[in-house]
A = this chain, B = another copy of it.
Amino acid sequence: MGNINLKELALALNLSTATVSRALRDSHEISTETKKKVLELAKKLNYEPNPSASNLRSQKSKTIAVIIPEVTNNFFSQAINGIEEIARQHDYHVLIYQTHENSELEIAFMRRLLSGRVDGILISVASETNDDQDFKDILNELPVVFFDRVNENIDAVKVTTDDYESTYKATTHLIECGCRKIAYLMALNNLSTGKKRFAGYLAAMKDNNVTENEALIIPDSNNDDDNYTHIKKLLLDEKPDGIITSIENLALPCYYACRDLKLNIPRDVKLISFSNLKTAPLLNPSLSTITQPAFEMGKEAASILFKILNKKYFEPNETLVLKSVIIKRESTGF
């Protein structure tokens, strides 16, 4: 850009570019006096090193990539917040890529990042189907930390939440509140995240001797209207007294279906949803939630990535599991 460069700085100071470069990087082999002079002029002239040049030479980009399904998902935007905070502490830059749940796009993004554009990747995967070999190839080239939606078939560093336990607890809570017909609105069933949540539900039902009912399990269709229709049919046909939704997006069609059928939540149907909506307390008429520590997950995942980058730490296939919180709305009395 219209900017000053090392050579000009050196010229103005009657020093070599090498010396100036070293002074700016605070090398111990430069005299304090020279350093001072260099730093002063650099600040005065607003010198900013050209990142392409230094990346090219040093083979480090000071940049990490975050690959996620959707930024507009509350969970992910909170995670990005955490990631950005840690990246800034390390003086790193953050690139964002959205897959919109498309695995091919996901792999394409990663392949393109293999060229040195980033030093590492944080990813929450779109699905756990096939592409394993692609992932493995990429893991050989670049440090990758998986978070939340991890790929179980891959040995890698991962940060997740206690999907099984939290859903187990939530289901148990509904049972303790007297629910006997608890519907489960399933989603992410091509991901370990979704499978674990579902397993937690099934186990809680079984352990409490509540007859589980196949008919009470509805898969998510990625389309709000379809979901609404399915849920409404379920409510009419099966009359569940409790519902667990395995992702936040199912809460809305569920709420509408109840409203349109004049079912009062929580009186007629008790509802617990996975949700990272900050304003969830505003929700009507009192939706209880399973809330994941998204911000903390972002921070943890990024911190681990930086440990790997700085070679300060490298536990190859460790998985860190954070705890979700079940928030019970007082106002619902359940």
* Partner-B contacts on A (CB < 8 A): 1-3, 46, 48-53, 55-56, 59, 61, 63, 70-72, 74, 77-78, 80-81, 84, 93-98, 111-112, 114-117, 140-142, 248, 251-252, 255-256, 259, 277-279, 281-287, 331
Contacts and interface: CB of A to CB of B under 8 A. Distances in A.
Question: Looking at A61, A80, A248, A255, which has the most chain B CB atoms within 10 Å of its CB?
Answer: A80
Contacts of A277: 277, 279
Question: Looking at A111, A116, A255, which has the most chain B CB atoms within 10 Å of its CB?
Answer: A116
B93 A94 contact: no
Contacts of A3: 114-116, 141
B95 A2 contact: no
Contacts of A114: 1, 3, 46, 48
A256 B142 CA distance: 48
A187 to B, nearest CB: 16
Nearest to A98: B84
A-B interface, 10 closest residue pairs, ranked by CB to CB distance from nearest: A284-B284, A48-B115, A52-B55, A52-B56, A77-B77, A52-B52, A51-B117, A71-B77, A71-B80, A72-B77
Contact of A1 (B48, B63, B142, B284): B142
B95 A1 contact: no
Given A255-B281, A277-B279, 8 more contacts: A1-B59, A51-B116, A71-B77, A81-B98, A84-B96, A93-B117, A251-B279, A284-B286
A260 to B, nearest CB: 11
A143 to B, nearest CB: 11
Given A46-B111, A116-B51, A284-B282, A141 B84 contact: no
24 contacts: A1-B59, A1-B115, A1-B116, A46-B114, A48-B111, A50-B56, A51-B117, A52-B53, A52-B61, A63-B95, A71-B77, A71-B81, A71-B84, A72-B77, A77-B77, A81-B98, A84-B96, A84-B97, A95-B96, A248-B279, A251-B282, A252-B281, A277-B277, A284-B285
Contact of A72 (B81, B111, B281): B81
